[in-house]
Amino acid sequence: MGRFNQALLGKQAWRIWSRPESLVARVLQGRYFARSSFLDCGTGTRPSFAWRNIIHGWELLKKDLSKEDSIRWSFTKDGTYSTRSGYQFTDALLEFQSQHNQALPPIEKKLWSNIWKIKAPPKIKHFIWRSLAGALAVKERLQTRGIPIDATCLGCGAASESICHVLFHCDKSRQTWELSNVPLPPAGFSRNSVFLNMLHLISVMNNNRLEQKILPPRQIVTLAFDEAEIWIAANSLQAETEQVSSAKAWSKPPVGAFKCNLGTSWINAQSKCGVSWILRDSQGNIISHSRRSYSAVRSKHEASLRALFWAVESMKNMRQNNIIFEVLLFPRPSPNLNWIVAQINALLEHIEFWRLDHVVEERNEAANLIAKSVTTRRKYHSYIASQDPAWLQSLLILEGQSQ
């Protein structure tokens, strides 16, 4: 009953906060917060019974609103406070406090205190807080509130829909993290600890900001020279001569078919891995090409399978058929990579008339150079483009003119 009364009083406090031009708001401002804002005011001297009750509701609002926010309540879609949302908020706070009333380890205390110091929009900080507090309406949490619902994740259908699964391990979430430029943990995200995953992301963000602030001038010059050498090598006559010698090895697909050459570049599990594909018709003309970066790829074999997955998925989405995929194949996939193979087979069912051919590096130079731009030039941005890359134009023209 006490929480419900506070939610009702929060409605009165919301009206004062959202309608400062009203008569009641102006009268109370003159009496209790003439020299400060409503959120910064206190009880004052000799407060009336009505004002003390409004302050009780104001304490609830202050847990969500801040000076940086516009007049918006985070627990409703339209941003307007309602008694129902206020009561649900008090219920969530009560549950959160009961879960965290025991002593926390120092590192966890530090994370909780640092959430509000993150240089991010208030909505992002609030979302992180709700994720750690277990206050997101995923199926697993709804079950704990007595709602009879199947907890299986609708996104992948392979696991229970927990906060950790939805944010980090569902297929769409995992692919989103892989496409991002955020360094992932070497062993991958934790499967049962949102705390450890959020701790990693916040530490990565702080380290990146620190590196940007204290980058030494000598290192800036070194990076500039490295980039210049890469540019000169890519545009030099010597590079073009080397490309000419190997361009003759590529062969055109039959009339009416397309050839999709796949490239990979893998160094180790701690570094970004690059994959690419180039789609050409029977005349050697480029239809489109793509590059993508992956994190936490454990082997060259896995990199090759990820390149194939990305190419097949792209061909399916582009509604392309009659395709010859040329990729570096391995004799037998490792058992721990069967999940990628299964996904590739499922995607291939949507493509009519396809073939998978093994390709040696000499016949696949253009695609491999695009993939290597991830590992050698730190080009982590993923894309699909309809034209050929300008820096490989000479090589691609020569390949297209081959028999």
* The predicted structure's pLDDT at residue 312: 94
Mean pLDDT of 383-396: 82
pLDDT in tens, 353-369: 999 888 887 788 889 99
The Cα 267–Cα 286 span in angstroms is 28
Q: Give the per-residue pLDDT at 386.
A: 83
Instruction: Find, among 281, 278, 298, the residue nearest to 389 by Cα.
Output: 278
Residue 238: pLDDT over 50: no
Q: What is the pLDDT of residue 206?
A: 67
Please report which residue ranges of 248-337 form alpha helices under DSSP H: 300-317
Strands 258-265, 273-280: parallel, antiparallel or unpaired by DSSP? antiparallel
pLDDT in tens, 152-173: 988 888 889 999 999 999 988 8
Q: In the structure, what pLDDT confidence band is assigned to residue 22 with cuts at 50, 70 and 90?
A: confident
Confidence bin at 232 (pLDDT 50/70/90): low
CA angle 125, 128, 129 (to 5 degrees): 85
Q: Parse the chain into domains and list their residue ranges.
A: 2-95, 105-212, 247-400
Q: What is the distance between the alpha carbons of residues 330 and 358, in angstroms, rounded to a whole number?
A: 9
pLDDT per residue over 36-86, tens digit each? 777 677 777 778 888 888 877 777 776 666 444 456 666 677 777 777 777
Residue that wins the pLDDT comparison between 52 and 384? 384
Q: For residues 297 and 306, is the Cβ–Cβ distance under 8 A?
A: yes
Given a cut of 50, is residue 242 above it in pLDDT? no
Average pLDDT over residues 269-281: 92
**Structure-model confidence comparison of residues 211 and 306, the more confident one:** 306
The alpha carbon of residue 21 and the mean position of all alpha carbons in its chain are separated, in whole angstroms, by 42
CB atoms within 10 A of CB 139: 18
Q: What is the pLDDT of residue 327?
A: 87
Q: Where are the alpha helices (DSSP H) in 73-193?
A: 83-99, 106-114, 122-133, 139-144, 163-164, 171-179
More confident residue, 7 or 384: 384
Domain 247-400: CATH superfamily, name plus number? Ribonuclease H-like superfamily/Ribonuclease H (3.30.420.10)
The reported pLDDT for the residue numbered 234 is: 57
Q: What is the pLDDT of residues 134-157, one digit of tens each?
A: 888 899 888 887 788 888 988 888
Q: What is the mean pLDDT of the chain?
A: 79
pLDDT greater than 90 at residue 324: yes
| 160, β-bridge pairs | 152
**pLDDT recorded at residue 75:** 67
Please state, in angstroms and as integers, the Cα–Cα distance from residue 245 to each residue in 197, 234, 237, 359, 364, following that order: 48, 16, 13, 17, 13
The answer on pLDDT for 259 being more than 90 is yes
User: Is residue 382's pLDDT more than 70?
Assistant: yes
Cα separation of 164 and 136, whole Å? Answer: 11
- Angle at 109 (CA atoms; ends 106, 112), nearest 5 degrees: 155
Least confident of 94-103, 184-193, 314-323, 327-336: 94-103
Beta strands in 266-395 (DSSP E): 273-280, 286-294, 323-327, 354-358, 383-385
C-beta of residue 259 within 8 angstroms of C-beta of residue 280: yes
**What confidence category does residue 275 fall into, taking pLDDT thresholds of 50, 70 and 90?**
very high
Q: Which of 284, 301, 280, 277 is nearest to 371 (CA)?
A: 277
**pLDDT score of 102 more than 60:** no
Rounded CA-CA distance 216/7 in Å is 54
pLDDT of residue 74: 64
More confident residue, 212 or 111: 111
Question: Number of helices and strands (H, E) in the chain?
Answer: 16, 6
Residue 211 pLDDT exceeds 50: no
> Cβ distance 276 to 377 under 8 Å?
no
